[in-house]
């Protein structure tokens, strides 16, 4: 049976969609955003994080869809009472699309509201197959300039743009989310451009996470934005 690799399950989250939610962090992401604040979510491999007190933590655990659904459904009543549900985050959840397609019906048969936070960096067919089964989408928009997108994320902008074009006409409720990065995409002109890009859709501007670099040394890595952001 296929397994999904998850690096964190965070219960009772309040900012990843409506109501009280459980957020599931999928391990593995095809992008390498320089400001990523979950670097342990980038590689699909198991990794060891060494805390400053010397404690070692293995990042990543493999789940069957049934076991993960049962774990998430422990809070089904609390979620339902608060109008909450489950949020798929990461890493990039769509990098484990086949696993998600096994997990989603197990949650949906219990009426769980599902949200996804995605970079949109996946083939259109993959994106469509998962997102069409989701109740609400937080769709990242990082850089509108194609060269800036390549430079700061390592990806090709057309991949995301194709998915956004589909999302706009899909009928699936969504908002755009912009991580505001000093010196990269946070000027007044950038904000205007993002608002224009969104057209009628809502845009949430997320403030730069000043603790974004904290986990890199614990993984033996340098934070790519060191010396670039204050």
Residues that bind ligand SF4 (CB under 6 A): 29, 31-33, 36, 38, 41-42, 90-92, 119
- Shortest Cβ 218–ligand SF4 spacing (Å): 16
Name which of 41 and 213 has its Cβ closer to ligand SF4. 41
- Shortest Cβ 41–ligand SF4 spacing (Å): 5
- Shortest Cβ 89–ligand SF4 spacing (Å): 8
In angstroms, the Cα distances linking 76 to 109, 129, 186 are 12, 24, 38
Q: How far apart are CA 164 and CA 179, in angstroms?
A: 17
Name which of 113 and 177 has its Cβ closer to ligand SF4. 177
Name which of 75 and 119 has its Cβ closer to ligand SF4. 119
**Residue 174 DSSP class:** E
Q: Give 226: exposed, middle or buried? Use CB within 10 Å, 0-12, 13-18, 19+.
A: exposed
Q: How far apart are CA 16 and CA 13, in angstroms?
A: 7
- Shortest Cβ 217–ligand SF4 spacing (Å): 17
| CB under 8 A, 24+ apart: contacts of 199-203 | 199/168, 201/168, 201/174, 201/175, 201/176, 202/175, 202/176, 203/141, 203/175, 203/176, 203/177, 203/178
Name which of 108 and 197 has its Cβ closer to ligand SF4. 197
Helices (H) and strands (E) in the chain, counts: 7, 10
Name which of 114 and 160 has its Cβ closer to ligand SF4. 160
- Shortest Cβ 38–ligand SF4 spacing (Å): 5
């Amino acid at each position: 049976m296929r397994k999904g690799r998850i690096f964190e399950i965070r219960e009772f989250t309040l900012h990843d969609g409506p109501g009280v939610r459980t957020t599931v962090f999928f391990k593995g992401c095809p992008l390498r955003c320089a400001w990523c604040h979950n670097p342990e979510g980038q590689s699909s491999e198991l990794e060891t994080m060494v805390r400053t007190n010397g404690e070692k933590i293995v990042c990543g655990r493999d789940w069957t869809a049934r076991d993960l659904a049962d774990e998430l459904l422990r809070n089904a009543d609390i979620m339902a009472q608060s109008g909450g549900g489950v949020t798929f985050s990461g890493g990039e959840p769509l990098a484990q699309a086949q696993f998600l397609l096994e997990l989603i019906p197990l949650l949906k048969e219990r009426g769980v509201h599902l949200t996804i936070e995605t970079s949109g960096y996946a083939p259109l067919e993959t994106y469509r197959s998962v997102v069409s089964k989701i109740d609400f989408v937080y769709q990242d928009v990082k850089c509108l300039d194609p060269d800036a997108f390549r430079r700061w994320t390592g990806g090709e902008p057309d991949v995301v743009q194709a998915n956004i074009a589909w999302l706009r006409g899909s009928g699936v409720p969504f908002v755009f989310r912009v991580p505001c990065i000093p010196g990269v995409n946070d000027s007044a002109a950038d904000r205007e451009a993002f608002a224009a890009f969104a057209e009628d859709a809502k845009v949430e501007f997320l403030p730069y996470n000043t603790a974004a670099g904290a986990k890199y040394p614990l993984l033996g890595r340098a934070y790519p934005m060191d010396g670039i952001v204050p």
